[in-house]
Chains A and B, each alone.
Chain A
Amino acid sequence: MIEILSYPFMQRALIAALLTGLIAPAIGTYVVQRRLSLLGDGLGHVALAGVGLALLTGTAPIPIAVAACIAGAVVVEVLRQRGKASGDVGLAILFYGGLAAGVFLSGISGVGAGGLAQYLFGSLTTVTRDDLALVGVLAIVILVTTLGLSPQLYAVATDDEFARTQGLRVRLYHIAVVSLAAVTVALAMRTVGLLLVSALMVVPVAAARNLVRGFTAALICAIAIGATTAVAGAVGSFYVDAAPGAFIVLLAIAVFVLSWPLSYVLRRRRAGAVLPELVDDDELAAPHTITENHPHRHAPGCGHPAVQHGDHTDFIHEGHRHAAHADHYDEH
C-alpha cells in the first residue's frame, strides 16, 4: 500500500477513484428510485457525441462532453415531462443518437472510432491535476446537493405529484438530478470510463437496498460501497495489472451478489426481533393430530427420550414426537 502511494500518478488515480465512487452512487440513488437505471448508460453514449465533436474541432473533450451530456439529459427530461416520450423511448433515442453521432464525428475528424476507446473504458492512471480539480469541484457540488436536498429530492423521486402539493418546484428538481447525473457521467470518462460509470451509479445502490432498510440509510450505504469498491478496485488493478474501471465494477457487482444471502440473513434476524409471536401463531395453527392406539403412558424415565417443546415436554416414540393432551397424546 505504501509502495502505491509513492507514485504521484497512483495518488491521483486513487483520489479520482474515491471521488467517482462517492458521487456516482449519491446521484444514482435518485436516478434508480425513479426507475431510470439506464439513464447513465444513455448519457455515456451522448458524451461520446461530445468527444467526437471535440476531436473534429480540435478542442478539449471534457468540457464539450459535459455540455453535450447536460443538453441530452435536459432534452430527454423535458420530452418526458411533456408526455412526448416515455422514459425508456427517450433513453433509447439517447443511446443510439449519441453513439451514432460520436462514431460519425470521430470518423470524419480523421481519428476514427478507435480514438473513442480511451473514453469508453477510462484511463485512471493518466488523470492529470486539472482533471482531479474538476472532479473535486463536482464531487463537492454533488454531495452537498444530494445530501443537503435529500428530503426534497426524495419526495420528488418517490411521488412527484405529492411533492408538487408541497409547493416543491418538481420540474426544476428533476432537471437538476439528470443534469448532475450528466456531469458525473461526462467526467467519469477519465476515471472508470463512459461505459462503466453507469454501473457505479446503479450497482452500489442495488446492493445497499438489500443490506439496509430505509431510503436515507440506503443512500449512505450506497456511497460507502461505491467509495470502498472504487478505491479497492484501483489498488487491486495496480497489483494485477488490470483495467481499473473494469476491476472496480466487478468488485461492486461482487458486493451486490453477496448482498443477496446477507439480506436473507438480516431479514430473518429482523423478523425474529420484531415478530416473535408469529412463531407461536404458527404452532397454534398446526393441525391437531391425535396419536391413535397409544396404550403406553409416557413419563420421565419411561424409556423414551424427553425433549422440551415450548411450555411442555414431548417424548420421542418410534420417530414421532408425542405430547400429552387431555386423555390422549398429540403428534407434534
Chain B
Amino acid sequence: MLLDGSSVLAADDLTVELGGLPVLRGVSLSIRTGEAVALIGGNGSGKSTLVRTLLGLLPHQRGTVRLFGSPLRSFREWYRVGYVPQRSVALLGGSKVREVVAAGRLARRRPFRPMRQDDREAVHRAITLVGLSEQRNADIADLSGGQQQRVLVARALAGQPDLLVLDEPTSGVDLEHQRVLAEVLAELLSAGTAVLVVLHDVGPLGDLIDRAVVLSDGRVAHDGPLGDLGQHYRRFGGHEHLDHDRTSDDHGGAAGSWLGGAVEP
C-alpha cells in the first residue's frame, strides 16, 4: 500500500481542444491515496474528456498530467490504474464474463505467457466482489445493464489498482445496483485505493465522496467538500433515479431480473 496522503494523480492547467473547439480550459486536479473524488457537471461540461485526458486516451494541448509522480508520457505502471469506461459493450458481445474481466489483468501479464495462479485468483475475486459469481460463464450480452456495468467494474478491479477511475458508473443503472457499487467502492477506499468517479448525479455514492470537483464549461467551478454544494445535486439526483427505475435494467427481461435477484445480498 502507498504512504498515506501521497499524490496518486495530479493534473495542472490542462487545456484540451477537440476538433478545434476548447473543451477543457486550464483544469487542475489532484487526488491522494485513499481519497474519493467525484467529478460532477452537466452534459458537455468536459467530465469525460478530462478523465480520458488524465488516462492518456486524448491528447492535451497545454498543461501536465502526472500519475503516481510520473509524467503521463513516461508512465509505465499501468497495473496501478483501473479504468471503468462508460458502459459500451457492443464489441464485447460473445465474450464470457470471466474473459472480459481477465482483460483487466493484462497490465500485470507478459505476452506469450499463460495466466498464472495469482492472475486467476484476482479475476475470481473481482467477479465475486461485484456479486457475479454465478454469471461468470455467461455471455456479457445476455446480462442486464446493471450487471454489465458491474462486469466492467470487475475488469478494472482485477488488476488490483491503486487508482480506480470510473466514468459515469451509475448512468442507466437502478438504485439497487448503485448500492452494490457503493459497497464495493467503500471496501476499496478502506484498503487505500484512490477513486475518481464521474457522476451525473450523486445518488447512493454520496456518502463515500470526500471531495467534489464541479466542471462547468471546461473550467473547475468548485473543488471542495460535497456538503458545500448544497442540495442541488442531490435533488437533481433524485429525479434522475426515477427515470432510471423506469428505463433501466429491463434488458434481458425475466432472466435478467431473476439472475439479479439471485445474487443480491
* Residues in A lying within 8 Å of B, measured CB to CB: 33-35, 148-149, 151-152, 154-155, 157-159, 161-168, 209, 213-216, 218, 271, 275, 277-278, 281
Contacts and interface: CB of A to CB of B under 8 A. Distances in A.
Contacts of A275: 255, 258
A34 B91 contact: yes
A151 B56 contact: no
17 contacts: A35-B91, A154-B95, A157-B91, A158-B103, A161-B57, A162-B104, A163-B106, A164-B57, A166-B107, A167-B76, A167-B106, A209-B94, A213-B96, A214-B96, A215-B95, A218-B94, A278-B255
A237 B91 CA distance: 37
Nearest to A147: B112
A158 B90 CA distance: 8
Nearest to B75: A167
B99 A214 contact: yes
Contact of B111 (A152, A162, A281): A152
A163 B159 CA distance: 12
B53 to A, nearest CB: 12
B78 interface: yes
Contacts of B83: 161-162, 165
B96 A162 contact: no
Nearest to A149: B111
Contacts of B107: 165-167
Contacts of B100: 158
Interface string B81-108: 1010100100110111001101110110
Contacts of A166: 78-79, 103-104, 106-107, 159
Given A148-B112, A278-B258, A161 B85 contact: yes
A154 B137 contact: no
Contacts of A271: 255
Which 9 pairs of residues, A with B, have the shortest CB-CB distance?
A: A167-B78, A214-B96, A165-B83, A155-B103, A166-B106, A166-B107, A148-B112, A158-B91, A215-B95
A216 B100 CA distance: 11
Contact of A158 (B95, B111, B139, B254): B95
Contacts of B76: 167
Contacts of B109: 151
A148 B112 CA distance: 5
A220 B104 CA distance: 22
Contact of A162 (B79, B99, B103, B112): B103
B103 A151 contact: yes
B177 interface: no
Nearest to A205: B94
Nearest to A151: B106
Contact of B96 (A148, A155, A215): A215
Contacts of A159: 85, 88, 91-92, 103
Contacts of A149: 111-112
B91 A213 contact: no
Nearest to A32: B94
Contacts of A281: 254, 258
Contacts of B106: 151-152, 155, 163, 166-168
B55 interface: yes
A158 B140 CA distance: 12
B200 interface: no
B155 interface: yes
A215 B99 contact: yes
Nearest to B109: A151
A138 to B, nearest CB: 19
Contacts of A278: 254-255, 258
A224 B155 CA distance: 30
A216 B94 CA distance: 10
Contacts of B95: 154, 158, 214-215
A172 to B, nearest CB: 11
Contact of B99 (A163, A165, A168, A216): A216
B258 A277 contact: yes
A154 B57 contact: no
Contacts of B91: 33-35, 157-159
